[in-house]
Amino acid sequence: MRKEEKKQHIVQRVEAGSAAEEMGIETGDILLAVNGTEIEDIFDYQYLTQDEYVEVSVRKKNGEEWLLEIDKDYDEDLGIVFENGLMDEYRSCRNKCIFCFIDQMPKGMRETLYFKDDDSRLSFLQGNYVTLTNMSDRDIDRIIRYRLSPINISFQTTDPELRCRMLNNRFAGQALGHVQRLYEAGITMNGQIVLCKGINDGAKLERSIADLTAYLPHLESVSVVPVGLSKFRDGLYPLEPFDREDAKRVLRCIHGWQDRLYPKHGLHFVHASDEWYELAGEKLPEAERYDGYPQLENGVGMLRLQADEFDEAMTQVEKERERYAGCRGELSVATGRLAYPYLSAMAQRMTACFPALTIHVYAITNDFFGELITVSGLLTGQDIIRQLRGRKLGERLLLPQNVLRSGEDYLLDDVTVSEMEKALQVKIDIVKSSGHDFVHTVLEV
């Protein structure tokens, strides 16, 4: 396929009631230009379509070219969904990071799971984290010009030489210079550090946090997450799992920085992902410590938010107990080992409130990737089926939404929800991560 064919911006769908629908743009049309400017990718499109008056050139399916004049509210979306969300080719990662989880995937899975993205446009659109090693000065210029934010950055360390070794990229230390430009331009950023035992922890972590505080307030948060280690590491860099004492040291470091930074900046800034608290055997921080949860998708504060939402929902339910007097039956919940203690406590509170209700909560061990992987988002259908077959499941089985691939009905190993229902002979309800949704799904309201 020729390059120009790849970069055709073909309309996949037009939102009902949108400006695009009103102007007659249809599925299959091709976007040619906005305000006389050819569109390279989503950066151009988002920037050029934000004004109140926009001129859009499209080629219709019959070959006619239309120039449409659109009046709309400032920042109102035109309502066009393109076949390629980036409106350009995806940029793959050039690094060979010692901690890369994709390198720890077994063979034989679907091809898309092996694609390593390192695309700043996905950072802007979907919240993905980028290393900056795949970005040119022109890319940085465009981010600054278009005021695109937040940009999410995978730092790992601020030691240039160590970063080169961890990413196996001789330009990885130099790429940190892009952060200074983004900071000076006032671009909002979030950061993450994937912590590897004996490599970028301890004094190295202290240095990284200290260096990154220089980018406050535009660098709004930094998460520290433990490296994920699957059982498929033959031939890869030898990494060790963290133990309880390691986790306690990491939390002492992070909490110490939070206590120093909050009085000065009004932000706790650096946050530990939920796994650290479970591994250390320590209680989750209160909601105020999470600064509004800027890194939920990174597993930072998700359990605290869910617990608080559950408490809020159950407090209301307990006040209106008579309304749910008919709540009875038997159901089950399956989750990863990380969330299991919290969901078990939720189930106990609900059954205490409704004695005619029975809830079985099951922790699924990740046999597929290895027992060190405890998050529900990496569970497979085959593990769920094998470990729940023959167990008491009741009339319904509740599974967290993050076991599914985004917008799909199948899990990492391509097992579908309907296949699990057939194998386990139970109806499956998918529950969002919200504590409110958990309560309402159990009560079927």
Q: Kindly indicate the confidence band of residue 3, based on its pLDDT and cuts at 50, 70 and 90.
A: very low
Tens-digit pLDDT profile for residues 257-286: 999 999 999 999 999 999 999 999 999 999
25-28 CB contacts, 8 Å cutoff, 24+ apart: 25/56, 25/58, 25/68, 25/78, 25/80, 26/60, 26/61, 28/61
Mean pLDDT of 379-402: 97
Q: What's the longest Cα–Cα distance across the chain? A: 68
Higher pLDDT, 444 or 230: 230
Mean pLDDT of 321-345: 93
**Lateral strand order in the sheet of 396-400:** 357-364, 329-336, 396-400, 427-431
| In this structure, CATH architecture of domain 102-298 | Alpha-Beta Horseshoe (3.80)
Tens-digit pLDDT profile for residues 406-434: 778 999 999 999 999 999 999 999 998 89
* Residue 276 three-state SS: helix
Whether the Cβ atoms of residue 91 and residue 117 lie closer than 8 Å to each other: yes
Token pair 């599974």: residue: 399
Q: Could you write out the three-class secondary structure of 174-214?
A: HHHHHHHHHHHCCCCEEEEEEECCCCCCCHHHHHHHHHHHH
Tens-digit pLDDT profile for residues 201-249: 999 999 999 999 999 999 999 999 999 999 999 999 999 999 999 999 9
Q: What is the pLDDT of residue 444?
A: 84
Mean pLDDT of 368-375: 95
| Tally of CB atoms within 10 A around 367 | 15
Tens-digit pLDDT profile for residues 72-94: 898 888 999 888 766 666 666 78
Q: At the top level of CATH, which class does the domain 3-82 belong to? A: mainly beta
Q: What is the pLDDT of residue 107?
A: 87
Q: What is the pLDDT of residue 47?
A: 83
Alpha-helical (H) ranges within 36-111 are 42-48
Instruction: Please state the domain extents for the chain.
Output: 3-82, 102-298, 305-443
Tens-digit pLDDT profile for residues 97-129: 999 988 998 988 877 676 666 555 555 555 588
Tens-digit pLDDT profile for residues 13-34: 999 999 999 999 999 999 999 9
| In this structure, CATH architecture of domain 305-443 | 3-Layer(aba) Sandwich (3.40)
Q: Kindly indicate the confidence band of residue 156, based on its pLDDT and cuts at 50, 70 and 90.
A: very high
Mean pLDDT of 332-359: 96
- Cis peptide bond upstream of 150, omega within 30: yes
Q: Is the pLDDT of residue 382 over 90?
A: yes
The CA-based angle 36-37-42, given to 5 degrees, is 135
Mean pLDDT of 352-361: 95
Q: What is the pLDDT of residue 4?
A: 41
> Please, what is the average pLDDT of the chain?
91
Query: What is the spatial distance between Cα 286 and Cα 318, in angstroms, rounded to a whole number?
Result: 23
Q: Which residues pair with 400 in a beta bridge?
A: 431
Token output for 426? 């139970």
